[in-house]
Structure 1
Amino acid sequence: MSTLTRISINPARRNGRKLLTNPQAMHAAVRASFPPDISEDEARVLWRVDPHDHESVLYVVGPEKPTGAVIVEQAGWESRPAQTADYGRFLDSLMKGQRWHFEIVANPTYSEPNGKRGKVKAHVSARHQLDWLYKQAPKAGFALAPRDDDPCTDEERSRWAVSDAPMVMERWTDTFGKGNESRGSRNQVRIAKARFSGTLEITDADAIRHALTHGIGRARAYGCGLLTLAPVK
């Protein structure tokens, strides 16, 4: 059973600040809320943090209900327990042609030729990050509003409003240590992130279900790749 969980994080608490500023710590806390032997065939463990004025909201997708009370006890408010919903019911309702408002934090990257495998590098400009999102859309089962220079018919272009166009809402780079500090093997990790928001249209219901439960792009263990949908206002 795929689940979607919402947990309020208190930035005024020491552990809350730690989780919000260290993706490695948040990754460990999220994984610890699931049994170590879970199967991720149906859904991968994904998470994303959305900041608000007085709290930050942690969203978690997983193959079963997490023990969110542990994170609440350490970094949230007792009066605001974790909220978990059966994600499967929502996923089953998705159909081709539906439009949804979407949000995703992603790690847009590209492969630079360097021998057989190539070297993975991050897109850092908003334009290239948006290009990355448009390239991901078809295989993730959705379409986006055509850009000014995209080849498409006038009829197709007229189906989209200016407000539907996806935008890069913010860009930043997370830098954190990974490894065993006591053994002198603490490596610095840098992950370039972009938060996208806009309107999408479902083109392949099965593909978008997979994207919603398994993520899009790289660095999914560190707060990237979790796509969420909400009704279009």
Structure 2
Amino acid sequence: MTAWLVRILPEVRRRDVQSDLADPDRLHKRLMMLVPDEIGEKARAQGGVLFRTEDTRTGLQILVQTTMKPELSRLPDGYGEIAVRELDGLLTRLVSGTRVHYRITANPSKRLGRNAGPKAGKIQALRGAAAEEWWVARAAAGGLAVATVTSQSQQDIRAKGTVRHAAVRFDGTATVTDADALRAAVLGGIGRGKTYGCGLLSLALARS
């Protein structure tokens, strides 16, 4: 399947940009403009829309991945500096044994069991070593054998005044063990919170 990666360097002095960045629901709706309207139920999944915001040396950037060709013209004029590239080349080069660098902001969490008492059935966020163990296990299920991992807690994702997702960014190196599973993980995202900026797995081939 074809996928595209859109990089947006938002014009943070604009009021609409400020409003979007301050409200996860607004930002989700804005980025959904990149795919057509009326594409059915579960539109985010239908359009393969995953995104991540991150600070860089040159300022804030928003990375958006879609499995439908993004309609850049639907974003407001002047919203930011925008670049787009297809991911086909990268996806086809993912074969068993390939070494890669990875980055993902995810929502490491687990559902509490019956022995948790009143909290049984609720979702618990994971931090520190527990979060890294979660990522290593999820990566393995997605066709990656993690060699190194560093984690950094991100600002909690809040919507309508409540915490929706506790986000953690994972960076490191890994080896491809199952190329088909990995491509599925890249295209479909990993973990909870995809609507609010979690789950986008970014890969780069490591030098030999």
One-letter code aligned to 2:128:
A
Aligned match of 2:125? 122
Map 1:174-193 to 2 at 5 A: 174-177=157-160, 188-193=162-167
Deviates more, 1:191-200 or 1:59-68: 59-68
Report whether the alignment pairs 1:95 with 2:99. Answer: no
Within 1, Cα distance between the matches of 2:132 and 2:145? Answer: 13
Given that 1:2 and 1:42 are in contact with CA atoms closer than 8 Å, whether structure 2 keeps it comes out as no
Aligned match of 1:140? 142
Report whether the alignment pairs 1:227 with 2:204. Answer: no
CA positional deviation for 1:218: 0.3
CA positional deviation for 1:100: 1.0
RMSD value over aligned CA atoms? 2.3
Change over 3 Å in CA distance of 1:84–1:218 after alignment to 2: same
Normalised by the length of structure 1, the TM-score is 0.77
CA positional deviation for 1:189: 4.2
Given that 2:157 and 2:196 are in contact with CA atoms closer than 8 Å, whether structure 1 keeps it comes out as no
Change over 3 Å in CA distance of 1:89–1:191 after alignment to 2: same
Within 2, Cα distance between the matches of 1:207 and 1:8? Answer: 31
Within 1, Cα distance between the matches of 2:23 and 2:134? Answer: 25
Map 1:194-205 to 2 at 5 A: 194-205=168-179
CA positional deviation for 1:74: 5.4
Given that 2:33 and 2:75 are in contact with CA atoms closer than 8 Å, whether structure 1 keeps it comes out as no
Map 1:55-66 to 2 at 5 A: 55-66=59-70
Within 2, Cα distance between the matches of 1:143 and 1:72? Answer: 41
Change over 3 Å in CA distance of 1:202–1:72 after alignment to 2: farther
One-letter code aligned to 1:166:
V
Normalised by the length of structure 2, the TM-score is 0.85
1:90-112 CA distance string (max 9 Å, x none): 21121111111111000111010
Map 1:212-223 to 2 at 5 A: 212-223=186-197
Structure 1: stretches of 5+ with no match in the other structure: 146-164, 178-186
Given that 2:21 and 2:27 are in contact with CA atoms closer than 8 Å, whether structure 1 keeps it comes out as yes
Aligned residue for 1:20, secondary structure, equals helix
Change over 3 Å in CA distance of 1:137–1:213 after alignment to 2: same
Change over 3 Å in CA distance of 1:70–1:56 after alignment to 2: farther
CA positional deviation for 1:213: 0.6
Report whether the alignment pairs 1:49 with 2:53. Answer: yes
Structure 2: stretches of 5+ with no match in the other structure: none
One-letter code aligned to 1:104:
I
CA positional deviation for 1:68: 2.6
Aligned match of 2:85? 85
Within 1, Cα distance between the matches of 2:96 and 2:46? Answer: 21
